[in-house]
Structure 1
């Protein structure tokens, strides 16, 4: 098992998202969920191999066995993984969070609720900066 917290590849991230949303799952349950959300066929043995690699890299743990069924759970937290992915992505944008956010807001439909949440976040950041001064 690896001690570093590796960045998951897209297929590994899809598995992690299922484990974060639903909790511990068998390979069969992950395969069924991925297949239900995909237009392309997903081969069971590919999901199995992906999860075995994730186990070796320390991304998931195998909790227990029910006969031949192994139950897997995420070791990586959703928040820390999102932070690492965001940091990596920001580096690709020259380290500018503003550029990334402006691009995202310009390309997506933003609801009033989203804008209100962003305003609240900005206000919180500004308040924290004032208290640090």
Structure 2
């Protein structure tokens, strides 16, 4: 269920936690902290506080039926990515999707990524 919170943009720290939730599914603070702490030094209480703020901002939903609250993203990864890209295109590229894509593609783009992009463009043209 996608909530209409497109005007609310997650911070970098919030995106880190959202990526964990999109990958593992609904999780407790402990579970999210365990995943995050594998790649960066973050305290349990920091993860808890960020998730609480995200709940207030409607970026996550919280199941309070058990002692350990379970958090889940309010919106899908694709929905959130699309919202962020639209905002970026509007703010940095004058609303031009083609300018955004041309800037994103450079010599670091792999042959596999180019093939995927070409396939997507062919599907969009049909």
Give the TM-score of the pair, scaled to structure 2.
0.84
Structure 1, 3-12 or 47-56: larger mean CA deviation: 3-12
Q: Secondary structure at the match of 2:10?
A: coil
Q: Which residue of 2 aligns with 1:131?
A: none
Task: Work out the number of aligned pairs and report it.
Answer: 121
Q: Which residue of 2 aligns with 1:58?
A: 58
Q: Which residue of 2 aligns with 1:10?
A: 12
Compute the RMSD of aligned alpha carbons: 1.8
Q: Which residue of 2 aligns with 1:94?
A: 94
1:23 and 2:25 matched: yes
Once the 2 structures are TM-superposed, how far is the Cα of residue 9 of structure 1 from its aligned partner? 1.1
Give the TM-score of the pair, scaled to structure 1.
0.80
Once the 2 structures are TM-superposed, how far is the Cα of residue 124 of structure 1 from its aligned partner? 2.0
Once the 2 structures are TM-superposed, how far is the Cα of residue 126 of structure 1 from its aligned partner? 2.1
Deviations 1:61-94 (A, max 9, x none): 2224543x21111111212111110011112122
5+ residue gaps, structure 2: none
5+ residue gaps, structure 1: 128-133
